Amino acid sequence: MKTDLSPTIKTALYGLMCVLLIPFVFPTWWMITSSVKPISDIFAFPPDLWPRRFDFTTYGKVFELQPFAQQYWNSAYIAAIVTVGTMAFSSMAGYAFARIKFPGADFLFTIVLLGLLIPSEVTIVPLFQIFLKWGMINTHWPLILVPIFGAPSVFATFVMRQFFIALPGELEEAARVDGLGRFKIFWIIALPLAKPALGAVAIFTFLHSWNLYLEPIVFISSKNMFTLPQALTQFTDAYGGAMWNIQMAAATMTALPVLLVFIVAQKQFVEGLAHTGLKG
Amino acid sequence: MAPVTLRHVKKSYGDAAVIHGVDIDIADGEFVVLVGPSGCGKSTLLRMVAGLETITDGEISIGPRVVNELDPKDRDIAMVFQNYALYPHMTVETNMGFSLEHRGASKAEITERVNWAADILGLVPLLKRYPRQLSGGQRQRVAMGRAIVRNPQVFLFDEPLSNLDAKLRVVMRGEIKSLHQRLGVTTIYVTHDQVEAMTMADKIVVLNAGKVEQIGAPLDLYDRPINQFVAGFIGSPSMNFIGGQITPDGFAAAGITLPLPPGLAPGNAVYGIRPEHFELSPAGVAATVLLVEPMGSETQVTMTLGEHQAIGVFRERVKASPGETIIVRPDPANVHLFDTTTGARIN
């Protein structure tokens, strides 16, 4: 809908939007500027929106104090595997729930959805015991397996199911007449058409894995195995005090892929959810 | 090309029977139209021939093979769907060559066949486009191209023109018919539009509530419908029906007596007369005009005959206004009489 607003109302609206933007933008701005301030300037009052002095050595110290590159790689490869794994499992499960008629399908799907209602804090102790038994503590396996078979994958399955339900049945029938079996119909016809939904699943799965905090601090104990959210808490001095500027430098580098993903893929994300009927 | 035979074919969903034992013989190269009102089971029957629906009972043969248990891909059929069912993420060329590709045809063969089909259907300039870049008529042609490219034994069309506007529908009707004449492939075509059925079919199968009402050539069905349902379904505008009694003086209905062919036994009946079988004649009965619709080549008049409403189509340009009286006469040679209880034809 296109409406013609007077310049005064337009200006007022933009002003209002700028004010509303402050709570969302300020933390990021504060993180980035604090990462290049000497630690004494961070606590200056009144606070400086623009650094009085720039100190870029904080970024170097991030790599000196911890094996940050290794931790970055850990987060990256775990998030990549979790994203690909979740996309694979959720698309197949979503397709099955949406398109294949089998006894108890709806009941089974309800059971799967119930998994979303259980907070991860409730399952973390039993999971710890299971992974301890399997000898996987202080490995990355729990950080890969729990999201792929846990709540994020359930939500992804729900998103994919909603998409596949809306796929015209005639396309599948045409493919059957053309000589395709069930898996090929899924792989060659349904999956390529599900790109918007898959894109949305990929984005939120990647972000969920990238930001995962509870599971790493439970399952991982050595610094070389840390992921980024866990590593961020470790930039402390000998007395346990936070080294804020170095921590903010690490946080800025940690947030960078997240920002990039959002900037590059926000359209895909919105479209994906719109296609699945989840958008309000 | 192959004949198709349906023997005592039944279909039920749980306790609900939707096809009640259908027998149809379709000769090699014949163009057969399954026609009937919505929900009569015509699409279900077509999908059973395609293998997209299982058969509860009976036997379907394509050529010498009974295909009841065969997958759609193994039946050597090609189907054109109501919504075209083109793969949106593939170009026209890929859509058309898709089935050949998945049946192990060589690239050279696929290219040759796709170009052949595209040439026939005027699709050559569109081969690199995606379905979303095509008009409704172009999509329809691509769907046909996808069907003919494989040279199947049987074409199945499931209401392929129902999404097109009236003008394009007439054009595509002609294209499908000429394609059939050119390729000579056995074709089963489903429609609810009796004009499509009349103009395209070698043979029409009229279905109603999962049963075959009549099978025959279009004009046979038009001229000698076997019952009141077929008489009412085939023809546009529909046949007029008037309930009354056969008497020695003619057909007595409330307020009027209509002419009859000779030699009929007296009794209750339904009198059927097609709109074009009325004539303006002083020897007829008085009719009150309700509506006059000049069509150019003919005039359609809605009128009351005694207490009955009827439609007449006249070659003459009827000048009467609503409320005026005209004298019309049904042609006794074209009168159809039906049993009041069973609806079966009695003359």
User: What residues of chain A lie within 8 A of the CB of B85, using their CB?
Assistant: 168, 170-171, 173-174
Cis-peptide, bond into residue B3, ω within 30° of zero = no
Residue B24 has pLDDT above 70, yes or no: yes
B169-218: pLDDT as tens digits: 888 888 899 889 988 999 999 998 888 999 999 999 999 999 999 999 99
Q: Is residue A42 exposed (0-12), middle (13-18) or buried (19+ Cβ within 10 Å)?
A: middle
A38-87: pLDDT as tens digits: 888 888 888 888 888 888 999 999 999 999 999 999 999 999 999 999 99
- CB-based contact B83:B163 (threshold 8 Å): yes
- CB-based contact B11:B18 (threshold 8 Å): yes
pLDDT band at residue B337 using 50, 70 and 90 as cut-offs? very high
Report the chain A residue with the minimal C-alpha distance to residue B83.
A170
Residue B32 pairs in a beta bridge with B188, B203
Alpha carbon of residue A206 to chain centroid:
4
Half-sphere exposure of A212 (CA within 13 A, CB side): 34
pLDDT band at residue A138 using 50, 70 and 90 as cut-offs? very high
Give the pLDDT confidence score for residue A117 in this predicted structure: 86
Nearest by CB to A171, from B73, B82, B85: name it.
B85
**Encoded tokens for B115:** 């170009």
Cis-peptide, bond into residue B237, ω within 30° of zero = yes
∠ at Cα B185 (A181, B103), nearest 5°? 25
Pairing relationship of beta strands B240-247 and B267-273 according to DSSP bridges: antiparallel
Chain B residues 141-160 with CB within 8 Å of chain A? 146
Q: Is A168 part of the contact surface with chain B (CB cutoff 8 Å)? A: yes
Residue A214 CB neighbour total at 10 angstroms: 14
Distance CA A78, CA A72 (A): 10
Give the pLDDT confidence score for residue A278 in this predicted structure: 45
Q: What are phi and psi of B51, to 5 degrees?
A: 95, 10
> Angle at which helices A151-165 and A68-99 pack, to 10 degrees?
40
**Encoded tokens for B184:** 């000579």
* Residue among B130, B121, B120, B119 nearest B93 (CA): B130
∠ at Cα A124 (A202, A145), nearest 5°? 40
Q: Do A177 and B52 touch (CB under 8 A)?
A: yes
Q: Do A177 and B87 touch (CB under 8 A)?
A: no
B308-326: pLDDT as tens digits: 999 999 998 888 889 999 9
* Comparison of pLDDT for A270 and B51, the residue scoring more: B51
Q: Do B99 and A189 touch (CB under 8 A)?
A: no
Nearest by CB to A193, from B73, B89, B98: name it.
B89
pLDDT band at residue A118 using 50, 70 and 90 as cut-offs? confident
Residue A1 has pLDDT above 60, yes or no: no
- CB-based contact B62:B77 (threshold 8 Å): yes
* Comparison of pLDDT for A275 and A124, the residue scoring more: A124
Q: Is B15 helix (H, G, I), strand (E, B) or coil?
A: coil
Give, for A260, the enclosing helix (H) or strand (E).
helix A244-275
- CB-based contact B209:B36 (threshold 8 Å): no
B67-110: pLDDT as tens digits: 999 999 999 999 999 888 999 999 999 999 999 998 889 999 99
Give the pLDDT confidence score for residue A276 in this predicted structure: 54
Distance CA B237, CA A117 (A): 61
Q: Is A177 part of the contact surface with chain B (CB cutoff 8 Å)? A: yes
Give the pLDDT confidence score for residue A280 in this predicted structure: 35
CA distances from A69 to A28, A131, A212, A256, B327 (A): 22, 26, 18, 14, 100
Q: Do A177 and B82 touch (CB under 8 A)?
A: no
Alpha carbon of residue A58 to chain centroid:
26
How high is the ipTM of this complex? Answer: 0.83
Residue B236 has pLDDT above 90, yes or no: no
* Residue among A168, A211, A189, A200 nearest A278 (CA): A200
Alpha carbon of residue B59 to chain centroid:
24
Q: Which residues contact B279 (CB under 8 A, 6 or more apart)?
A: B314, B328, B329, B331
Alpha carbon of residue A8 to chain centroid:
40
Give the pLDDT confidence score for residue A196 in this predicted structure: 87
pLDDT band at residue A272 using 50, 70 and 90 as cut-offs? low
Q: Is A46 part of the contact surface with chain B (CB cutoff 8 Å)? A: no
Residue B253 has pLDDT above 60, yes or no: yes
pLDDT band at residue A2 using 50, 70 and 90 as cut-offs? low
Report the chain B residue with the minimal C-alpha distance to residue A171.
B85
CA distances from B34 to A72, B38, B156, B187 (A): 66, 12, 11, 11
Give the pLDDT confidence score for residue B166 in this predicted structure: 84
Nearest by CB to A179, from B52, B73, B85: name it.
B73
A145-196: pLDDT as tens digits: 999 988 889 999 999 999 999 999 999 999 999 989 999 999 999 999 998 8
Q: Is B72 part of the contact surface with chain A (CB cutoff 8 Å)? A: yes
Q: Is A192 part of the contact surface with chain B (CB cutoff 8 Å)? A: yes
**Encoded tokens for B254:** 């409330």
The model carries a pTM of 0.81
Residue A279 has pLDDT above 50, yes or no: no
